[in-house]
Amino acid sequence: MSQRIVTAATRVVFMIGTPIAQVRSPLLFNTYFAEHGIDRVMVPLEVSVAALDGFVAMVREAENCDGFVATLPHKRALLKLVDEAGPTARALESVNAVRRNPDGRLFGDMADGAGFWNGARGAGFEPFGKAAVLAGAGAAGTAIAFEFAQRGGRKLAIWSRSGDEVDALVSRLAGTGIEVSSGMPDDLGGYDMAINATPLGMDYAPGTAFSPEQVASLPAGAIAADAITEPAETIFLGAARARGLRTIDGRAMARGQFELLRAFVAPDE
């Protein structure tokens, strides 16, 4: 990768969230910009919930900013802050990518679901006809579940610490043809994949959504997948690996959605 020099002419995109230190997008974006000779840089920025409105207002007025990518906890709030949203963002009521048009108008969309399953495909897993158990029904979990149904998933069990989130996601999946159940099964023997889409496993939220007994009950051919990017090997994935299962870490999801996000927020000049 060639050395980068940021000047006053450099175009800027942001990666926002709180916490922000664990995200992988700046590395992927900035590597791409450098390797392709594009005078653009992604800057990670810690943005609190209270500061989100002000940040979005700043982006509208920043003519050298092309947009931003968002992680937790901003994805749902952003839907009301953009001027227009793509069909996936509207369907899921959440946004993780925002493009700034030259007139300052903001267009948002959601790539978490496609990114997760693109990453899973890269690891050799196709969801068609499969059964999965999902921990987490927030913005990322909802996107993963919705895309699982769109790609022909057969059965999905959903757990979250918020019963309201689970109920909302079950309702959202109605009519997709997928068999949906609420709650975490004690025995995961009938599932092809166990997915963590909660913050559990990050440094600020230690722990795991899946007990050792549940991990041990997964069949030999099952895959354990985590949306967390840092640490790459969570307690959940470590337990699954010790069990001899295949694992997919959150960096696969980051890679899986990178091209979607880049083409949307920062297309080649």
Per-position DSSP letters for 43-97, written without gaps between them: EEEE--TTTHHHHHHHHHH-TTEEEEEE-TT-HHHHTTTSSEE-HHHHHHT--SE
Q: Are 79 and 89 in contact (CB under 8 A)?
A: yes
Give the alpha-carbon dihedral of 208, 71, 120, 159, to 10 degrees.
Answer: 40
Selecting among 75, 80, 130, 155, the annotated active-site residue is 75
Query: Is 75 known to be catalytic?
Result: yes
Q: What is the sign, positive or negative, of the torsion defined by CA atoms of 75, 77, 79, 81?
A: negative
Residue 164 contacts by C-beta under 8 Å, 6 or more apart in sequence?
none
d(CA 229, CA 130): 24
Phi, psi of 92 (to 5 degrees): -95, -10
Per-position DSSP letters for 102-155, written without gaps between them: TTS-EEEE--HHHHHHHHHHHTT---TT-EEEEE--SHHHHHHHHHHHHTT--E
Q: Residues with catalytic annotation?
A: 75
